[in-house]
Chain A
Amino acid sequence: MTERPRVAFFDFTGCEGDQLQVVNLEERLFDLVEVVEVVSFREAMSEHSDDYEIAFIEGSVVTAHDEERLAGIRENADVVVALGSCAAFGGINAIRNDQDFETVTERVYGDDADMIEANPEARPIESVVEVDATIPGCPIDREEFVQVVTGLIRGVEPTLPNHPVCVECKLEENECAFHRDEICLGPVTRGGCGADCVGEGTHCWGCRGMVDTPSEDAYTAVLEEHGLDAEEIVEQYQLYWGWQRPERATQEEAQ
């Protein structure tokens, strides 16, 4: 990695909220461009170069064209970072993976469904190319982004927390959502967010994806107390895990 690495941002299928979180660094965005050279960021600038070292990729893969474009980016970049949950594990787009694809296209495009080209599933970028680092979250946390960028510049091996959100809820001294008769995905969701949604008065929606191995890594105490197990909660709640759930089931079976 050069002293001031050349970085590029790319968007696939998603809401562009993770790039917006980067813009929302406000004044600190101008500090960021002191330490990295942004050579492509279509949403915010017209310049573009294919000569970059780090590629930040937002959004899921949903068309054959997406796959080709992504492969091209992988060839150009030394480091590929999945920015946000859609790129990291399919995210909210993967809700439709649990629905019959023909029904999906008919519902949205009616008689014109055949005009639309799309894959039957929304997939994360790791289903097409190798990924070197992941910043999950819907949206990403701005501080986590800054930490990952700083780490990459210093050559630190990127890591992801693998404790469930419950651990952070305890630290924050939040009232457990289960005690309020709400279903919360905190016991099986990857922490690192400071249990922010619970702190804001609701529950965990699972936006950072599952812990590596739900059957082993889940915070089972709270689940058992309420007559649930990790398996049930993983199967029953579907907002973010439409791609991850079948993948993880296969992996756990193989182990």
Chain B
Amino acid sequence: MSETIDIESEYVTRVEGHGNIVVNVADGEVETCEWQVVESPRFFESMLVGRDWTEAHHVTARICAICSISHTTASLKATEAAMGVDLSAQDERLRKLALYAETLQSHVLHLGYLALPDLVGKQSVLPILDSHEAEVEAVVRLHRLGNDLTEAIAGRSVHAQRHLPGGFSKLPDEDELDALRTRLESAWSDVELVADLLVELSDELPDFERETEFISLTHPDEYAFYDGTLYSSDTGELDVEDYREIVDEVVVEQSTAKFTSHARESYMVGALARLNNNFEQLGPMAKAVADRFGLEPGSHNPYLNNVAQLVEIAHLIETSIVELDTLLDGGLDPQPDYHTPDVEVEAGTGIGAVEVPRGVLFHEYTYDEDGEITDANCVIPTNQNHANIQQDMEELVPTILDRPEDEIELTLEMLVRAYDPCISCSTHYLDVEFVDE
């Protein structure tokens, strides 16, 4: 056993945003074991105060690029809930597709570009091209597919242009959607290639389990992404309206992001939480992928979040094909060019809860009668995972002290990466107390 260990991994690489891992061991005793979030504060909830209802989604998309459609979607849902705006079935389907496409893109980016290098012992995806060219090409094709589908609906994959409160400024081109449907069908061989490689490498994922609580949305009719009620693996169904009490944010010294807890000291959100809570609603291909890894509901190994993302990649392809078929059957209902949906501006408060790549995301806005925001609150998935990462580290570190320091460091970095943290997002999680000026 190493008597003295001093790990200070500043700015963990291959994650979005800035976080540090600090572990100090003296005389075989763990003195410090911390996951520190050091991202600069962004102040988005304050930036939203005074903004017009037509601008909120444009501003909040800029919280995070990798999940910009996610923030746009939660933001629009909050605004629409505050003003009582209904969305047409077609627009809701397009919103879902854009969200699925971004989640596909984000999962592929994480799994292929950020996590895979650890499993093959490389520092980035580039050197993997030499040893696994076909698999890397499959990853790039899947990533492009997610981006192209997002672009077809949103106008642009980073920071959507067509999403508006109440609908879209422009409809996608049907031929383009049809071509994307064909590409989704032929994406199975790429998913298989990536799954084959991951199965081959799955022994590299540490065998670590710690029982925790999983929180996600759940929906009676589908594997919940766009909408649903909250569900905890410990306490069952919960009301979205109560989200502030459920996430129970607390300030901790080590982090510019707050930590959260519900039924226990920490909980987990994201692909593994969704899979554990809603497994039966996955599509058949997704279940087949899960089966290859023996991944079942009730899985408590955080490293398997990587595998859960692959399962969801399969599900997102399946479900996107179904949604596209419904949209294209009979054609899209037309709308005028430069469409501005009808919205009757009124004062009110609304919550938008959406399952996004890294877990459940909440936006809540209060509007005055002129349609200006007076209060805003955003609770970010990564923020909800910080406490769980910390708890995992505290349980894991004492069990691996006998290993070389660089191996401990890599195991901990892989743990952080498994959560696919999006740290830029998570430093603007805090409650906003509106101060009368």
Contacts and interface: CB of A to CB of B under 8 A. Distances in A.
Contacts of B337: 175, 201
Nearest to B429: A108
Given A107-B434, A107-B435, A116-B256, A17 B46 contact: no
A44 B114 contact: yes
B66 A16 contact: yes
A90 interface: no
Interface stretch (B27-35, B162-170, B316-324, B325-333): B162-170
A202 B65 CA distance: 20
A90 B162 CA distance: 24
Given A15-B424, A33-B126, A110-B431, A96 B46 contact: yes
Contacts of B434: 107
B13 A46 contact: yes
Given A12-B40, A16-B16, A107-B49, A23 B109 contact: yes
Of A15, A41, A118, most buried by chain B (CB within 10 Å of CB) is: A15
A203 to B, nearest CB: 9
Interface in B126-159: 126, 129, 140, 143-144, 147, 155-159
A254 B97 CA distance: 52
A165 interface: no
B433 interface: yes
Contacts of A107: 43, 45-46, 49, 432-435
B215 to A, nearest CB: 24
A68 interface: no
A20 interface: yes
A156 interface: no
Interface string A1-38: 00000000000111111101101101100100100001
A14 B256 contact: no
A169 interface: no
B146 to A, nearest CB: 10
B41 interface: yes
Contact of A92 (B39, B62, B113, B437): B62
A45 interface: yes
A147 interface: no
Nearest to A174: B338
Contact of B124 (A47, A96, A110): A47
A93 B63 CA distance: 10
A26 B59 contact: no
Interface in A162-209: 175, 177, 180, 182, 196-197, 200-202, 205
A47 B123 contact: yes
Contacts of B16: 16, 43
Interface SS majority for chain B:
loop
Interface in B69-124: 109, 113-114, 117, 123-124
B11 interface: yes
Contacts of A116: 41, 256
Given A27-B140, A63-B40, A103 B437 contact: yes
B164 A108 contact: no
Contacts of B47: 92-93, 95-96, 99
Interface in A58-109: 62-63, 65-66, 91-93, 95-96, 99-100, 103-109
B403 interface: no
B62 A138 contact: yes
Given A95-B47, A108-B432, A13 B256 contact: no
Contacts of A16: 16-17, 64-66, 424
Contacts of A115: 251, 253
Nearest to B154: A200
Contacts of A65: 40
Given A46-B123, A93-B42, A17 B159 contact: yes
A102 to B, nearest CB: 9
B125 interface: yes
Given A16-B16, A17-B68, A239-B55, A26 B339 contact: no
A136 interface: no
Contacts of A175: 337-338
A240 to B, nearest CB: 10
Contacts of B66: 16, 20
A15 B437 contact: no
A215 to B, nearest CB: 25
Nearest to B428: A108
Contact of A200 (B63, B114, B162): B162
B206 to A, nearest CB: 18
Given A24-B147, A96-B46, A112-B251, A44 B170 contact: no
25 contacts: A14-B62, A15-B68, A16-B66, A17-B62, A17-B68, A20-B65, A30-B129, A44-B14, A44-B124, A95-B59, A99-B47, A104-B43, A107-B46, A108-B41, A108-B430, A110-B433, A116-B256, A177-B338, A182-B340, A196-B161, A200-B162, A201-B161, A201-B170, A202-B161, A202-B338
Q: Ordered nearest first, which 8 A-B pairs have the shortest CB separation?
A: A17-B65, A201-B169, A45-B124, A201-B170, A200-B161, A200-B155, A46-B123, A107-B46
